[in-house]
Amino acid sequence: MARERTLATWGVELVHAYPHDTGAYTQGLAFDGGQLLEGTGKYGESTLRRVDLESGRVLHSAPLARDLFGEGIAVWGGEVVQLTWRNQLGIVYDKSTLQELRRFRYTGEGWGLTHDGTHLIMSDGSSTLRFLDPQTFRVVRRLLVRSGGRRVANLNELEYVQGEILANIWYKNYLARISPSSGEVLGWIDLQPLVPPRLDRDSVANGIAYDAEHDRLFVTGKNWPQLFEIRLVAR
C-alpha cells in the first residue's frame, strides 16, 4: 500500500461542508433529486435513509432487521438496491417510499455498489469488482483492479463518475480512480485534508456520491460530523 499512496495524483479543493449525522455508520451514498440516499451499517443499527443535503436531517429512515448489516447502495430507475455484509442478501426498495419490494441472493460478502447505466457494479472487499445484470442480479463480468501490476484489495464504497469507477479503500484516506474496461487504477484522490479526528479506528473515509446534473462530487466517512462537496485538483 505504501507504493499506492505515493501514486496519488489528485488533491481536493473544499467547495462546501454540510452537516452529517455522527450516528450514521456510512456504508453507501447516492445523490438523488437534490437529496442524499444513505445506507448505514452495524447489526441492530443498519438503515436505508433519505437525507436533506443542506441540513443533514434524516427525512425518512427504513431500518433493516437486527440480524442484517447494511452495506452499499445504488439507485436504479425508481428503485434503490442495498447490499448486506455477510448475509449474502440484497434488498430492493421503492425509491420514493423506501418500502422493501423484493430480495435477491449473491455469494460472498457485499461491500460497495454503484452502476454504469447498464450494469450494477459491486465490491466485496477483495480486488475484484462484479458487474451484475440489474434485473436478475447475476454476475455477467468480473474486473480485477490493479495498480502498477499489483492487485488493489479492500475495495469498498463505489461511485461511477464520468466513465470511471471511484472506490474507497478500507482504512485508507484516498480514493482509487479505476478504468471500468481494464481495471487499471488511473490515479488516486487524496482525502487526508478532510479527515476529522478519529472517533474510533473504524471511523474511516467511506461514502461517495455524484450529482451528475450539476457535476458535484460528495464524500464523507463512517460517523463523520460533516459531508464534503469537493473539486479535484491535479498535482
For 60-70, how does the pLDDT look when each residue is reduced to its tens digit (9 = 90+)?
999 999 999 99
| Domain-wise residue ranges, the chain | 2-234
Q: What is the DSSP letter of 184?
A: B
Task: Return the DSSP state at 153.
Answer: -
- Predicted confidence at residue 71, as pLDDT, reads 98
Strands 100-105 and 89-94: antiparallel
Which grid coordinates belong to 52? Answer: 436533506
Rounded-to-integer distance, Cα 57 and Cα 201, Å: 25
Q: How much is the mean pLDDT over the chain? A: 95
Q: In which band, very low, low, confident or very high, does the pLDDT at 8 lie, cut at 50, 70 and 90?
A: low
Rounded-to-integer distance, Cα 37 and Cα 39, Å: 7
Q: Quick: pLDDT tens for 198-211.
A: 778 889 999 999 99
Q: In the numeric block, which cell numbers belong to residue 135?
A: 434485473
Rounded to the nearest angstrom, the gap between the alpha carbon of residue 217 and the centroid of all alpha carbons in its chain is 12
* Structure confidence at residue 104 (pLDDT): 98
pLDDT in tens, 113-169: 999 999 999 999 999 999 999 999 999 999 999 998 999 999 999 999 999 999 999
The CA-atom distances, in angstroms, between 105 and each of 42, 75, 112, 193 are 20, 18, 15, 38
Contact yes or no for 158/108 (Cβ under 8 A):
no
Cα 74 to Cα 17, 32, 39, 141, distances in angstroms:
23, 10, 9, 18
Instruction: Assess contact for 185 and 146: CB atoms under 8 A.
Output: yes
**What pTM was computed for the model?**
0.94
pLDDT of residue 197: 86
Question: Which residues have C-beta within 8 Å of that of residue 197, sequence separation ≥ 6?
Answer: none
What SS3 class is residue 54? coil
Q: What is the pLDDT of residue 3?
A: 43
Name the pLDDT band for 6 (thresholds 50, 70, 90): low
Residue 197's CB is within 10 A of a number of other CB atoms, namely 6
Write the DSSP string, 145-194. Answer: -EETTEE---EEEEEEETTEEEEEETT-SEEEEE-TTT-BEEEEEE-GGG
pLDDT at 160: 98
CATH of domain 2-234: 2.120.10.30
Task: List pLDDT tens digits, range 57-108.
Answer: 999 999 999 999 999 999 999 999 999 999 999 999 999 999 999 999 999 9
Q: How far apart are the first and last CA of the chain?
A: 20
Q: 4-8, 35-39, 154-158, 201-205: which range is least confident on average?
A: 4-8
- Angle CA 49–193–197, to nearest 5: 70
Q: Which three three-digit cell numbers place residue 112?
A: 460497495
**Exposed, middle or buried, 139 (CB in 10 Å: 0-12/13-18/19+)?**
middle
Task: Write out pLDDT tens, residues 169-199.
Answer: 999 999 999 999 999 999 999 999 999 987 7
